[in-house]
Amino acid sequence: MIPGDFEYYRPNSLDEAVQLLATHGDDARVLAGGHSLIPMMKLRLAAPEHLVDLRNIASLSGVSESGGDITIGAMTTQTELITSTVLSEHCPIIRETALLIADPQVRYCGTLGGNVANGDPGNDMPALMQCLGATYILQGPDGMREVEARGFYEAAYFTEMNDGEILTAVRFPTPAAGHGYAYKKLKRKVGDYATAAAAVLLSMKDGNCVSASIALTNVADTPLYAQAASDALVGTTIDAAAIDEAVALAEGITEPASDGRGPAEYRTKMAGVMARRAILEAKERAQ
């Protein structure tokens, strides 16, 4: 439970951070809140020789809404997501999800950027970002580029991000006013990763569903955007039949591992139960 040796850096600018990563290549890792990376270092599952701490780079924090988009800096902590008035007003599902992550101590340190960049299928924010249709903004030695959250995750801990790149922010369209939402997470206890979780965002018009977006957490080696399940709701009144179909389609794309939370079969079913409950609550909340 003691990490290997490493050098620690705390650059004051993004350029400096990118430079440090370029200099040290493979042996360097970005450090954000440290609540995924440091546990892995203690178990020696990760042994970076150079840690580049981003906490002094002020431009990486904060939440803003403009031009129909919400942008959240990568270093914004989960606590800041919970207390942000912009998010409570325009996108309350982020607060709902963040409150289900770990415990207050973890949330004071853990960042949105670290949560989505880590590539851990257990993390809750990646599926939520897929649900919201978010774009990740990456800065590397060759400049800036953007990657869709729905195309970002390749396998557990493998993402589209290249060595030497830093995630600076996520951006997503502000959900329509009156949208319905819910994040439902089954876990064994406070501080546990999901047995299964589902994020649902939808809009209703005259009793019909006009848009829907469903994503699942920790039921495959990446977060899952449930396109077919989402589509199954659109154009319906979200009646029992539509929900059954969406749930079955959501269950169908899962490929969970068996672990202490339960065997694969159970986790698939729980993805369905969470999706069902999230759809019902989102429908209830939609105006």
Ligand X SMILES: Cc1cc2nc3c(=O)[nH]c(=O)nc-3n(C[C@H](O)[C@H](O)[C@H](O)COP(=O)(O)OP(=O)(O)OC[C@H]3O[C@@H](n4cnc5c(N)ncnc54)[C@H](O)[C@@H]3O)c2cc1C
Binding site for another protein (CB under 8 A): 1-2, 4-5, 44, 103, 186, 188-193, 195, 259-263, 266, 269-270, 273
Residue 149, binding choice from ligand X, another protein, none, Cβ under 5 to 8 Å by partner class: none
Q: How far is the CB of 273 from another protein (least distance, A)?
A: 5
Q: How far is the CB of 123 from ligand X (least distance, A)?
A: 4
Binding mask 162-201 for ligand X (x = CB under 6 A): ----xx-----------------------x-x--------
**DSSP letters along the chain, please?**
------EEE--SSHHHHHHHHHHHGGGEEEESS-TTHHHHHHTTS---SEEEE-TT-GGG--EEEETTEEEEETT-BHHHHHH-HHHHHH-HHHHHHHTTSS-HHHHHH-BHHHHHHS--TT-SHHHHHHHHT-EEEEEETTEEEEEEGGGTEEETTEESPPTT-EEEEEEEEPPPTT-EEEEEEE-SSTTPPPSEEEEEEEEEETTEEEEEEEEEESSSSS-EE-HHHHHHHTTS---HHHHHHHHHHHHHT--PPPBTTB-HHHHHHHHHHHHHHHHHHHHHH--
Q: How far is the CB of 1 from another protein (least distance, A)?
A: 4
Q: How far is the CB of 255 from another protein (least distance, A)?
A: 17
Both tokens assigned to 228: 């077919």
Query: Can you tell me which of 61, 71, 76, 123 binds ligand X, judged by CB under 6 A?
Result: 123
Of 152 and 193, nearer to another protein (C-beta) is 193
Q: How far is the CB of 161 from another protein (least distance, A)?
A: 25
Question: Is 29 a binder of ligand X (CB under 6 A)?
Answer: yes
- Euclidean distance between CA atoms 25 and 34, whole angstroms: 20
Of 44 and 205, nearer to another protein (C-beta) is 44
Q: How far is the CB of 190 from another protein (least distance, A)?
A: 5
> In this chain, which stretch among 62-70, 112-120, 205-213, 234-242 interacts with ligand X, using CB under 6 A?
112-120
> In this chain, which stretch among 13-21, 110-118, 233-241, 267-275 interacts with ligand X, using CB under 6 A?
110-118
Interaction residues for ligand X, span 224-263 (CB under 6 A): none
The CA angle 232-115-280, to the nearest 5 degrees, is: 30
Residue 30, binding choice from another protein, ligand X, none, Cβ under 5 to 8 Å by partner class: ligand X
- Burial status of residue 1 (CB atoms within 10 A of its CB: 0-12, 13-18, 19 or more): exposed
- Euclidean distance between CA atoms 134 and 69, whole angstroms: 10
Of 195 and 203, nearer to ligand X (C-beta) is 195
Question: Is 110 a binder of ligand X (CB under 6 A)?
Answer: yes
> In this chain, which stretch among 11-19, 35-43, 142-150, 224-232 interacts with ligand X, using CB under 6 A?
35-43
Contact residues toward ligand X (CB under 6 A) are 29-37, 39, 54, 74, 101-102, 106, 109-111, 113-115, 117-118, 123-125, 166-167, 191, 193
